[in-house]
Structure 1
Amino acid sequence: MNGNDSGKWAARLAIGRDAVVVVLGTGIVLMALWWVLSRLGNVVVVLMMAGMFEITLSPMVDRLALYWNRPLAVLVVVLGAVVIFVVGGILLVTVIAGQLATLVAKLPNEVQTLTQTTPGLMAWFRHTGIQVNILQVESRIFSSLGQVSTFLVTQTVTFVTHLIDSIVDGAITIFITVYLLLDANRIQAAVLRLIPHHQREGLLAVEHTLSRVIGGYVRGQMALSLIVGTAFGFGTWLIGLPYPLVIGVFAAVMELIPLLGPVLGAILPVLLALFNHPWVQIPEVLVLLAAAHLLESQILGPKIIRSQVGVHPVISVLALMIGASLRGILGALFAVPIAGILVAAWVAGVRVWREKVVLPSQPTPPID
C-alpha cells in the first residue's frame, strides 16, 4: 500500500470517527434536553403557548402598527383577545351550566319517557334476556348524582388550587406574549447579530416559514372549529333538539381533535335524540353528522388549511392519515403543520438547487 492509499484510508477513518462523534454528541444533547424539558413541563407549556399566541396575533398587531404606534397596537389586540376570551367564556359557562343543570334534573324523566315511547325496544330487550329495571336505573342515576356532589365538595380545595395555578399561568403567558409582540423586531435583530452574514437570509426564511405555517394552522383550526360548532348548534336547533348551545360548544371543542372531531361532536346530540324522539331525530342527527363530516373533511378543512398553511388538500389529507397511523390523535394534530414546513423546505431547497445548477430548460450562462 503506497502513501496515497494510506492517506485516503486515514482520511476516511477520520471522517467516520467525526461522524460517530457527531451522532453520539447529538444523541447526548437531545437526551439531556429531553431530561431538562421533562422536569420543566409547565414552563415549556407556558413558553409554547406564549409563542403560539405571538405567532397568531402578530399579523393583527403588524397591521394596526401601520396606523398606530406598536405598543398601542399590542395593547388593543391583546386586551381585545383577553376580553373576548374571558367574557365569552363566562357567558358560555353560565348558559351551559344552566342547561346542564336542567338536563341533569330531567334525566330520570327522560329515561322514563324513553321506555314509554319505545315499547318495541323494551320488548326486544326482554326477548334477548336483557332485564331493564326503570326504578333501578333511576335510583342509580340519583345515587351517581349524589356521589358527584360529594366528590365536588370534597375536591373543592384541589379545584381552587388548580384554578389559581391556571390563572397564574395564564397571566404569565399573557405577559410573555405581550413582551414578544412588543420586542419582536429587537429580538430578531439580537438573534441576527449572532449569525454570520451569509446565513442570515436563510434564518429569516426559516423564521418566516415557521410563522406562516404555525400561525396559519392555528388560525385555520380556530376558524374551522367555529364553523363546525355553529353548524352543529344551528342544525340541532332546526331538528328540534334541546340545548343547541351546549351541543354547538361541545362540537366546536371536539373539532380541535383532528379526524375524530365531528364523530365525537355527534355523541351529545345522538344521546339527546335518544331521549326525545329517537325514531325520528336519530336519523336526522346522523344526516347532520354526515353533512358536517363532509363539510369539514372534504370542503372547508382542506381549503382553509391550504389557504393558511400553503399545503395542497391531498397532501393535508395524506398527512393526517400518516400522523394518525403513527402517533394517533397527537400525530394527527401536528401532521399538517409539519407537512407545511416540509413542503416549504422542499420548495426552498429546489429553488436554491435551481440557482446553483443549470437545468436543460435554462439558457447556458455565458462563459467569461
Structure 2
Amino acid sequence: MGGVSRYRGPRLPRRRPVREASGPAPGVVVPRGVELATAWSWRLLVIGAALLALLFLVQYFSVVTYPLIISLLAAALLGPAVRRLDRLGVPHKLSALLVVVLGLGAIALLLVFVVSQILSGVEDLSTQVVDALDQVRTWLRDGPLGISDADLQSALTSLQESVSSTGGRFVGYATEFGTAVGHVVAGAFIVLFATYFFLADGPLIWTWAVRILPRDSRPRVDSSGWVAWRSLTQFVRATVVVAAVDAVGIVIVALILKVPFVVALGVLVFLGAFIPLVGATVSGFVAVLVALIAQGPIVALLMLGGVILVQQVEAHILQPFVMGRLVSVHPLGVIVAIGLGVLLAGVAGALVAVPFAAALNAVAQHLSSQTGVGEDPRHAAARDPAPPDPA
C-alpha cells in the first residue's frame, strides 16, 4: 500500500545557532569634546572658588588690604622720584623717606589752602544759597506748578517730622561714623608706612614673595610681576597727566566765569579723574552746581559748556594719545572692569579695577608671547629672558 504524501510547503534553510561574543562587551567611549569640557569645567570651578575666597578675604580685611593697594599705587607714582635721587648720590632709604615726607607735606599744604579758601567764602556762599532757595520758592509759587505757601509749609512740616522720627537712629549713625573715622586714621598710617617700605625695600619684598612659590614657577612669576609693575607705573603716570589737564582746564573756566572756590574745584576734579568714567562727571556736576548757586543759571550753563569741552578734550586727545599709548586696554574692558569693581567693592573697587585690568592684560600678553601653542611650559620657561627693568 502506498502511503498518501502530504505537501508540507517549501523547505526553509536551517538557521545557525547564534554564538555569544567570546570577550567582554566594549565599554562606553566618552567623546573627546565632552572629556575636554569636563576637564576644563572642574578646573575653572576650582579657580573660581579660589578667586571668591581671595575676594572674601580682601573684603573682610579691607582695613588693611585697601591701604596696601593705595600704597602700591602711591609707590608706583613716587618711584621715579626715588630713583632720580638715587642717581644723584642720595642713599636709597633716605631717598624713599624724603620722597614720602615731601609728598605728605605737599598734600597737607594743599588741604590747608583748600580749607582756608572754603572757610573764607562760606559766609558769602551761605547768603547766596539762601537767596537761591528764596528764588526757588518764588518759582514754585508763581511758576507753572502753582504750589501755594500752605503746601510748601506742609511739605516742610512732613520733612521735619520724618527727620524727628529717625532721631533715635542718630546714635547708631554716630557710632558707625566714629568707627569709620578710626578705620580711616588707621588706614592713613598703614598707607604712610607701607608706601615708604615699598619704595625702600620693594625689590626685597618681591624677591621674598617669589621664593615662597615652587622653584619651577619662579622665573615666570618673577618676570610677570615686573611686567605688571611696569604697567601699573605707566597707568598711574598717565592718570596723573590726564587728571592734571582736567583740573587745569576746569580752573581756567572757573576763573574766567569768576566762580568761587576755584582751587577747591580744581582739587576735586583732579581727585575725581582717578575714578574712570564716573569721577570726572561727578566733579564737573559739582562745579556746575557751585556756579549755579554763586552766579546764576546763565553762568552755570557756561560752566557746563566748559566742563563738556574739557571732557571732550580728554576723551578725544588725552585718552588716545596718553592713556592709549601707555596702557593698552580696550574701552569695553575698562567698562567691564569698572562694573565688576563697583559690584565687588564699591568706590574702592572702581578705583583699583582699571589698573588691575591693565596689569592683568600686560601679564597675559607677556606669558602668551613666551609659550607657543601646544608647547610644554617647562621647556618654554627654560629659555625665558631676564626680568625687565622696573624703571
- Alpha-carbon distance between aligned partners in 2 of 1:26 and 1:325, rounded to the nearest angstrom: 21
Out of 235, 242, 245, the residue aligned to residue 224 of structure 1 is 242
2:185 matched to 1:167? Answer: yes
Paired position in structure 2 for 1:37 = 58
Paired position in structure 1 for 2:73 = 52
Q: How many residues align?
A: 336
2:274 matched to 1:256? Answer: yes
Q: From the superposition, tell whether residues 252 and 296 of structure 1 become closer, same or farther in structure 2 (CA, over 3 Å).
A: same
- Alpha-carbon distance between aligned partners in 1 of 2:338 and 2:68, rounded to the nearest angstrom: 26
- Alpha-carbon distance between aligned partners in 2 of 1:193 and 1:332, rounded to the nearest angstrom: 30
Out of 109, 117, 140, the residue aligned to residue 87 of structure 1 is 109
2:305 matched to 1:305? Answer: no
- Matching of residues 235-274 of structure 1 within 5 Å: 235-274=253-292
Paired position in structure 2 for 1:64 = 85
2:173 matched to 1:131? Answer: no
Out of 319, 330, 352, the residue aligned to residue 333 of structure 2 is 319
Paired position in structure 2 for 1:213 = 231
Q: From the superposition, tell whether residues 323 and 25 of structure 1 become closer, same or farther in structure 2 (CA, over 3 Å).
A: closer
Aligned residues of 2:63 and 2:183 also touching (Cα < 8 A): no
Aligned residues of 2:248 and 2:266 also touching (Cα < 8 A): yes
- Alpha-carbon distance between aligned partners in 2 of 1:65 and 1:259, rounded to the nearest angstrom: 37
- Alpha-carbon distance between aligned partners in 2 of 1:53 and 1:78, rounded to the nearest angstrom: 9
- Alpha-carbon distance between aligned partners in 2 of 1:258 and 1:188, rounded to the nearest angstrom: 29
2:120 matched to 1:98? Answer: yes
Paired position in structure 1 for 2:353 = 334
2:383 matched to 1:353? Answer: no
Q: Offset at 1:198?
A: 5.4
Q: From the superposition, tell whether residues 204 and 290 of structure 1 become closer, same or farther in structure 2 (CA, over 3 Å).
A: same
Equivalent residue letter for 2:191: T
Give SS of 1:266's match: helix
After TM superposition, the score normalised by the length of structure 1 is 0.72
Q: Offset at 1:335?
A: 3.8
Aligned residues of 1:255 and 1:262 also touching (Cα < 8 A): yes
Moved more, 289-298 or 55-64: 55-64
Gaps of 5+ in 2: 1-21, 377-391
- Alpha-carbon distance between aligned partners in 1 of 2:63 and 2:93, rounded to the nearest angstrom: 28
- Between the two structures, name the one with larger relative contact order (CA 8 Å, sep ≥ 6): 2
Equivalent residue letter for 1:207: G
- Alpha-carbon distance between aligned partners in 1 of 2:128 and 2:143, rounded to the nearest angstrom: 29
2:220 matched to 1:202? Answer: yes
Gaps of 5+ in 1: 117-121, 358-368
2:121 matched to 1:107? Answer: no
Deviations 1:31-53 (A, max 9, x none): 44444334322122222223332
- Alpha-carbon distance between aligned partners in 2 of 1:76 and 1:306, rounded to the nearest angstrom: 32
Aligned residues of 1:50 and 1:173 also touching (Cα < 8 A): yes
- Alpha-carbon distance between aligned partners in 1 of 2:356 and 2:50, rounded to the nearest angstrom: 25
After TM superposition, the score normalised by the length of structure 2 is 0.68
Give SS of 1:257's match: coil
Q: Offset at 1:183?
A: 2.2
Q: Offset at 1:206?
A: 0.9
- Alpha-carbon distance between aligned partners in 1 of 2:208 and 2:335, rounded to the nearest angstrom: 40
Aligned residues of 2:244 and 2:270 also touching (Cα < 8 A): yes
Paired position in structure 1 for 2:13 = none
Q: From the superposition, tell whether residues 15 and 221 of structure 1 become closer, same or farther in structure 2 (CA, over 3 Å).
A: closer
Equivalent residue letter for 1:256: F
